[in-house]
Amino acid sequence: MIDFKVDKIKNVAIIMDGNGRWAKQRAHERVWGHIRGSSVVSNIVEAADDVGLKSLTLYAFSTENWSRPEFEVKTLFKLLKKFLLKERERIIKNQIQFKVIGDISKLPAATISLVKELEELTENFKGLKLSFAFGYGGRDEIVKAVNKLVSAGEEVTEESISRSLFHPAIGDIDLLIRTGGDQRVSNFLLWQIAYAELYFTNTKWPEFKDCEFIKILETVECRERRFGAIEEAESLESTKCLAKTNHNLY
């Protein structure tokens, strides 16, 4: 049982990296790491729900990952389908709102149907907002949001772009975690992580446990978040309102 509950950190995103390297270190094919890593997802989702996160967004497959070997790509497709079949009941039981963001048009038809069915079934659930970024690219998301506004004849503003993203309900990301040791954001949620706290761990995804996840949340909860102000602020919106008020005084 997890006693810890989040306070300031509500929206978390994770780049699940290190699967292939973890497998190669053990003289296995890269796909073995993805298979092992897929078993970690359920525990992290459960922990995120237990500590009271509002949203958890997982980077499963990027637009750049299409450059990987065909067998590896197809394995990732199969793992997504397996997750949907295995976790469907638990997602529904825990009132988790499930969504896939990105281009899933090249997934097998049966998997697309499973995704759409679960999205529709859970769209009004009030629990954790769980998003899988699959066939996703941050720049692509922003471009599509702007084109959507232009086509509709709407003014392009920060607020209108935010409303036009793939999943506006997740809001601004408070914490971005990357496993595997690399320290970059890799075109993930570029708009949403503008003021996110960043945490890079050397632990590769297949070895990432819920206890480390909780420890990271506890650590980041202690950070002072100022959002451009000189003292700790409640949110980016609060400092933007203060900045607008102060700007009008000059």
By annotation, the residues acting in catalysis are: 17, 65
Query: Which of 178, 247, 177, 187 has its CA nearest to residue 217?
Result: 177
User: E strands along 137-174, which residues?
Assistant: none
Cα 44 to its chain centre, rounded Å, is 12
Q: Give 192's DSSP letter.
A: T
Q: How far apart are CA 97 and CA 119, in angstroms?
A: 7
**Alpha carbon of 13 to those of 130, 135, 172, 192: distances in Å?**
10, 16, 10, 10
For residue 11, the tally of other CB atoms under 10 A from its CB is: 23
Within 1-100, residue ranges assigned H as helices are 19-24, 30-50, 70-93
CA dihedral of residues 201, 228, 234, 219 (deg, nearest 10): 20
Backbone angles phi, psi at 61, to 5 degrees: -160, 120
Maximum pairwise Cα distance, the chain: 65
Of 41, 43, 70, nearest in space to 57 by CA: 41
Euclidean distance between CA atoms 77 and 60, whole angstroms? 10
